[in-house]
Amino acid sequence: MITLHHLNNSRSQRIIWLLEELGVDYQIKHYERDTKTSLAPASLKAIHPLGKSPVITDGDQVIAESGLIIEYLLQKYDNKGFMPAKDSAEYWQYLYWLHYAEGSLMPLLVMSLVFNKVKTAPMPFFIRPIAKGIADKVMNSYVGPNLANNMRYIESHLGNNHWFAGDQLTGADFQLIFPLEASLHRGIKAEEFPNIAAFVKRVQTLPAYQTALQKGGPYDYA
């Protein structure tokens, strides 16, 4: 049986949704973030040396990284067409967006989170203006403009596509729901990005997604 090692408020919530859509037998082992640091517990390192979530175990296989987990599950268990036919136009769109989510979008979101935390972190009063100045400079000159450009890019794409690879739900949509939920939660305005907001709402109304929320536990982004 598949075991998902699930951390609250993390990328692994999207894997629960995928497992529900696939209808496979699985179980969830829950892990909680440290309430002070928001970091994953050290117990996750017993599953994978990096101590991150999501991680799945399936027999003797230990699979980490969201994109690889999605590809593994689809190649082994998909009977609903969540992976388009190979060499089709939809297949390459699926692969592109699957890798784009973590390769291009998530680094910007993580950087935004880190530099915003720097501005509010406890520090000596004489250091605070310097740290805030550096954080603002990075946000205003690099992270902010690049993040806005990526959001406009996604918004435009979703203006012409019901799902990321076209008319059919694919693994790319499972991968992208987390960063887009997080983006709406952390500050992008739904009225400025209506196609992104509509995509997120479309996913969140799916029965399998709703079931995944119940099984996953606390999740701030839904």
The rounded distance, in Å, linking the Cα atoms of 187 and 150 is 14
CATH of 89-209 among 1.20.1050.10, 2.60.40.1890, 3.90.1150.10, 3.40.50.2300: 1.20.1050.10
| Tokens linked to 152 | 């406009």
CATH 3.40.30.10-classified regions of the chain: 2-82
Backbone phi, psi, residue 180, to 5°: -75, -40
CATH 1.20.1050.10-classified regions of the chain: 89-209
Residue 52 has pLDDT above 70, yes or no: yes
pLDDT score at 187: 82
As a whole number, mean pLDDT of residues 79-105 equals: 96
Span of 56-70, 94-108, 123-137, 167-181 with lowest mean pLDDT = 123-137
**CA nearest neighbour of 221 among 169, 179, 188:** 179
**CA nearest neighbour of 69 among 47, 90, 85, 88:** 47
CATH 3.40.30.10 corresponds to the domain 2-82: yes
Q: How much is the pTM?
A: 0.92
Percentage of residues of the chain with pLDDT beyond 90? 79
Reduced to 3 states, what is the DSSP secondary structure of residue 37? coil
Reduced to 3 states, what is the DSSP secondary structure of residue 64? strand
Residue 130 has pLDDT above 80, yes or no: no
What confidence tier does 65 reach under pLDDT thresholds 50, 70, 90?
Answer: very high
pLDDT score at 206: 98
